[in-house]
C-alpha cells in the first residue's frame, strides 16, 4: 500500500557456496552499498528510486548483474534491460507501494537463468505504473545481449489457484520470500488471506502449475508487512501490519513451521505480538544462526524487538532493542551476519552488530552505515545464503 514516506525493499539472491552475490545493494532513493570491502561503502551510481520494494543480485565473483523495483529492470551497466523482442523492461507487474515488490531467484543449476518475481498492490495513486495486485514472474537469460541479459518470458501469472481456477489477484498480499529446498531446489513462497503458496524451482524452471498450498489458522488483516524464512529453512515469520487497527495500530507478528522437503507450511501458529500492544509489525528478520527473530514496529516511533526462538515461550522472550523517532522500517540480515535497520528518509542505516546474542548483550548502532547522498527505504534480501 502507499506510504507517505520512502521505503526500500531490496531482496538479494546469493549462491549456496559464496556470499559475493550480496556485494552490491541498490535501493531506496538512489542509495547503494558495496559490501566487497571490509566495511560497506556508499554508492551513488544506481538509477533506482522507489517507495518500497526492490531487489539486486551479483554473480559468484561479486560482479553486479541486475537490480529492479519490480517495475523497471536495470542491467549491470545501469541501463534498462530489454525483452528479446526489443521492448524495454519497464511497466513490470510490481508496484512502488508494494512491501516486497521484487525478488530475484537463480535457477539452481543454470547460471545464466534467473527469475524475477513481482507482487503488486491495488493502490492506484497518480503515477503511471501498472496496477496489478497479483503475483507474477519473469525469466532472464544472462547469456544474451553480450552478457548483460535479456528478459525471455513473462509475466507469468501465479495468482490463480490451479486446482480451483479461482482468481486471487485482488486478494494477494504484498509478501514474497524464498528458501533453499532439501534437494537443491528452491522454494518461493507468498501468501493470500489464510493460504500459503509454495512454488518449487528446479533445474527445469519454476513449477508454476503445481504449487504446494497450505491453509493455516490465521487470516491476514493487512496485505502489508514482511514475509521471511529463517536461514535454516525451518521457520516462517510474517508481519500483519494493519497500522490503523486500534489506538496504537498493529496487527500481529506470527511464527510458523516450514518443511523444506515438502513445501508445506504448518497450520499451527505462534502469535508473538497482539494488536494494540507493541504497535504495527512491519519488518522481520532472523539471525544468521536462526536462533533469534527481530521485528520492527511502528506506534508513532520506530521500535525493534528481539524474540529468542530457543525458548519454550517465544512470545514471552520479547525484549526491546531500540526505540527511536522514525516511521516503519525494514530489517535485513547482511552477508556479514549483521542486521540492518532501514528507516525511511534516513541517510543512515541502523546496525545490529551481534544479532545471534541474547538481548542483554546486543549492540545497536543507530547511524551505523552512512549512505552518502542516498536515502534509506525498506531493505530485504533472499535469506538462504546468509
CB-based contacts of 313, cutoff 8 Å, min separation 6: none
Arithmetic mean of pLDDT, 276-291: 88
Specify the pLDDT at position 83.
98
pLDDT at 17 over 80: no
Domain locations along the chain: 9-370
Which span out of 273-287, 289-303, 306-320 was modeled with the highest average pLDDT?
306-320
Arithmetic mean of pLDDT, 192-215: 95
Specify the pLDDT at position 194.
92
pLDDT at 248 over 60: no
Question: Which tens digit of pLDDT belongs to each residue from 37-63?
Answer: 878 999 999 998 887 888 899 998 989
Tell me the fold of 9-370: Methylamine Dehydrogenase; Chain H (2.130.10)
Which span out of 21-25, 145-149, 294-298 was modeled with the highest average pLDDT?
145-149
Band (132; pLDDT cuts 50, 70, 90): low
340 near 296, Cβ under 8 Å? no
pLDDT at 245 over 70: no
Lowest-pLDDT range of 17-21, 183-187, 287-291: 17-21
Arithmetic mean of pLDDT, 262-274: 90
3-state SS string for the chain? CCCCCCCCEEEECCCCCCCHHHCEEEECECEEEECCCCCCEEECCCCCECCCEEEEEECCCCCEEEEECCCCEEECCCCECEECCCCECCCCCCCCCCCCCEEEEECCCCCCEEEEEEECCCCCCCCCCCCCCCEEEEEEECCCHHHCCEEEEEEEECCECCCCCCECHHHCCCCEEEEECCCCCEEEEEEECCEEEEEEEECCEECCCCCEEEECCCCCCCCCCCEEECCCCCEEEEEECCCCCCCCCCCEEEEEEECCCCCCEEEEEEECCCCCCCCEEEEEEECCCCCEEEEEEECCCEEEEEEECCCCCCHHHCEEEEEECCCCCEEEECCCCCEEEECCCCCEEEEECCCCCCHHHCCEEEEEEECCCCECCCCCCCCCCC
CA distance 294 to 304: 7
CB-based contacts of 295, cutoff 8 Å, min separation 6: 237, 239, 253, 272, 273, 278, 281, 282, 283, 284, 304, 305, 307, 331
Specify the pLDDT at position 9.
36
Which residue bears the cell 500459503?
196
Specify the pLDDT at position 146.
97
Specify the pLDDT at position 6.
34
Instruction: For the chain, give the mean pLDDT.
Output: 86
Specify the pLDDT at position 37.
84
The set of cell numbers assigned to 118 is 513481482
Specify the pLDDT at position 128.
52
Give the closest residue to 268 by CA, choosing from 283, 254, 282: 254
pLDDT at 8 over 50: no
User: How many beta carbons lie within 10 A of that of residue 378, not counting itself?
Assistant: 34
Specify the pLDDT at position 379.
56
228 near 248, Cβ under 8 Å? no
Lowest-pLDDT range of 177-181, 287-291, 324-328, 335-339: 324-328
Residue 143 β-bridge partners: none
Angle at 354 between CA 358 and CA 53, to 5 degrees: 110
Q: What percent of the chain has pLDDT over 90?
A: 56
CB-based contacts of 126, cutoff 8 Å, min separation 6: none
The set of cell numbers assigned to 41 is 561503502
Specify the pLDDT at position 384.
47
CA distance 244 to 249: 5
CA distance 10 to 376: 11
Arithmetic mean of pLDDT, 354-373: 94
Question: Which tens digit of pLDDT belongs to each residue from 57-90?
Answer: 999 898 999 999 999 999 999 999 999 999 999 9
Band (113; pLDDT cuts 50, 70, 90): very high
CA distance 298 to 175: 18
Question: Which tens digit of pLDDT belongs to each residue from 31-43?
Answer: 999 988 878 999 9
Question: Which tens digit of pLDDT belongs to each residue from 371-382?
Answer: 998 887 665 555
305 near 298, Cβ under 8 Å? no
Amino acid at each position: 500500500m502507499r506510504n507517505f514516506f520512502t521505503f526500500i525493499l531490496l531482496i538479494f539472491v546469493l549462491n549456496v557456496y559464496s556470499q559475493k552475490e550480496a556485494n552490491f545493494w541498490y535501493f531506496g532513493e538512489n542509495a547503494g552499498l558495496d559490501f566487497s570491502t571490509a566495511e560497506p561503502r556508499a554508492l551513488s551510481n544506481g538509477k533506482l528510486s522507489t517507495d518500497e520494494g526492490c531487489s539486486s543480485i551479483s554473480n559468484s565473483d561479486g560482479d553486479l548483474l541486475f537490480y529492479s523495483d519490480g517495475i523497471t529492470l536495470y542491467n549491470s551497466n545501469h541501463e534498462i534491460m530489454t525483452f528479446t523482442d526489443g521492448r524495454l523492461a519497464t511497466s513490470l507487474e510490481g508496484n512502488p507501494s508494494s512491501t516486497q515488490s521484487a525478488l530475484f531467484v537463480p535457477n539452481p543449476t543454470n547460471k545464466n537463468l534467473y527469475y524475477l518475481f513481482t507482487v503488486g498492490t491495488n493502490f492506484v495513486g497518480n503515477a503511471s505504473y501498472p496496477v496489478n495486485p497479483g503475483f507474477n514472474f519473469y525469466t532472464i537469460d544472462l547469456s544474451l545481449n553480450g552478457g548483460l541479459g535479456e528478459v525471455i518470458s513473462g509475466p507469468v501469472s501465479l495468482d490463480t489457484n490451479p486446482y480451483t481456477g479461482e482468481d486471487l489477484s485482488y486478494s494477494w498480499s504484498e509478501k514474497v520470500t524464498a528458501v533453499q529446498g532439501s534437494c537443491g531446489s528452491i522454494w518461493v513462497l507468498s501468501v493470500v488471506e489464510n493460504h500459503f503458496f509454495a512454488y518449487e524451482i528446479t533445474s527445469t524452471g519454476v513449477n508454476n502449475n503445481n504449487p504446494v498450498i497450505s491453509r493455516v489458522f490465521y487470516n491476514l488483516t493487512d496485505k502489508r508487512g514482511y514475509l521471511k524464512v529463517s536461514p535454516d529453512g525451518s521457520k516462517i515469520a510474517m508481519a500483519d501490519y494493519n497500522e490503523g487497527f486500534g489506538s496504537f495500530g498493529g496487527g500481529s507478528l506470527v511464527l510458523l513451521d516450514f518443511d523444506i522437503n515438502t513445501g508445506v507450511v504448518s497450520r499451527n501458529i505462534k502469535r508473538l505480538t497482539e494488536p494494540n500492544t507493541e504497535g504495527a509489525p512491519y519488518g522481520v528478520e532472523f539471525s544468521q544462526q536462526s536462533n533469534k527473530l527481530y521485528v520492527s514496529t511502528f506506534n508513532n516511533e520506530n521500535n525493534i524487538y528481539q524474540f529468542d526462538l530457543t525458548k519454550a515461550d517465544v512470545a514471552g522472550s520479547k525484549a526491546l532493542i531500540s526505540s527511536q523517532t522514525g516511521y516503519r522500517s525494514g530489517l535485513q540480515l547482511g552477508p556479514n551476519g549483521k542486521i540492518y535497520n532501514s528507516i525511511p528518509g534516513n541517510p543512515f542505516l541502523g546496525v545490529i552488530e551481534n544479532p545471534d546474542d541474547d538481548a542483554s548483550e546486543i549492540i545497536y548502532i543507530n547511524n551505523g552505515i552512512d549512505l552518502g547522498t542516498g536515502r534509506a527505504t525498506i531493505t530485504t534480501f533472499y535469506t538462504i545464503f546468509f
